[in-house]
Amino acid sequence: MTKAPAFLYDCDTGIDDAMTLLYLASLVHAGEATLVGVGTVHGNVHPLTGALNTLRVLEAAGIKAGGQDEQGVPVAVGADRPMAQDVHYAVDWHGTDGLGNTYLPEPAGRPVAEPAAAQIVRLARALPGELTLLATGPLTNLGAALLLDAELPSLIREVVVMGGAFDHPGNITTHAEANIWHDPEAADLVFAADWPVVLVPLDATHPSAVHDDWLDRLAAHDTPVARFAARVLEFYIDAYTPTLRRRGAVIHDALAAMLAVDPDLGEYAHRPVRVELRGELTRGTTVWDARSLPAEDVRRPVKVATGSDVAAFQERLLASLQSFPA
């Protein structure tokens, strides 16, 4: 039997990160994955807000969190700004509280004192070759961890990143996707490192948008977690509907998590990836050489998701949100 994946999740807990946490929690309850830690970063919200949101979501899902011990998932606060630019929050998409302006009560748990980048290094050294490092926010914590420990790439089993755009328009500028644009320097460090990276860009996530039927089925499932998910999604749906031109939302981060669990759901290209750091109009853009020429880039190729089995993704995500007890 294949060993269940062990996830270390780095995120900026807004709404699609929250859905991803619920998906991961469903796998933990089913014995299909372990969650060894969570770190938060600037992006959708301030990282402390993101950490508190993470605790709220995990507690709603029946996962003890906040303690740096065997009984709970440690939640660490990470970088509160990018490496080389000003910080920017996505309150128009996630609300000022990051969870759709639901202003939920304080969580029972608290974040640990250890910074998120240090937690990455510590857990990688404690579990060499075992961790899937799932990153669905700006990559500042990962970039900092690489600077802290030059041996880190040899200790991580796989890095799975939601970010970037290639043949799809950007979602924060004309060319750049938000997670990469929030810290281009850190992202380029991650893509330059000698570790296996799976990149799940807007090219793969946008076609996976959920719409009326899926949302109605979630809302009709009368359990606490399903009600929680439906309530948090309301703000996100309102934000996305003008872009999609119909009621719906793109739950980007959950697709990255699901491809980490079941890579066969995706379609991929293997190419080195770089990030534009200086362009006046294109800073933060992910760039690959799509020409049918021998590769000249010395970087390790990134496994880039170009598509997925959308129906399977949607059904599995819905089933995970409906899997929690009444």
Angle at 197 between CA 194 and CA 200, to 5 degrees: 155
Tokens 């995120």 belong to which residue? 11
Tokens 């270390």 belong to which residue? 8
CA 326/CA 318 separation, integer angstroms: 16
Q: How many alpha carbons lie under 13 Å from residue 69 in its C-beta half-sphere?
A: 5
First to last CA, the chain: 31
DSSP string, 27-63: HHHTTS-EEEEEEE-SSSS-HHHHHHHHHHHHHHTT-
Per the annotation, the verdict on 252 as an active-site residue is yes
Q: Kindly name the residue from 42, 46, 94, 252 that is annotated as catalytic.
A: 252
CA 299/CA 199 separation, integer angstroms: 15
Q: Is 142:163 a contact under the CB 8 Å cutoff? A: no
Tokens 């990455």 belong to which residue? 120
Write out the catalytic residue numbers.
252
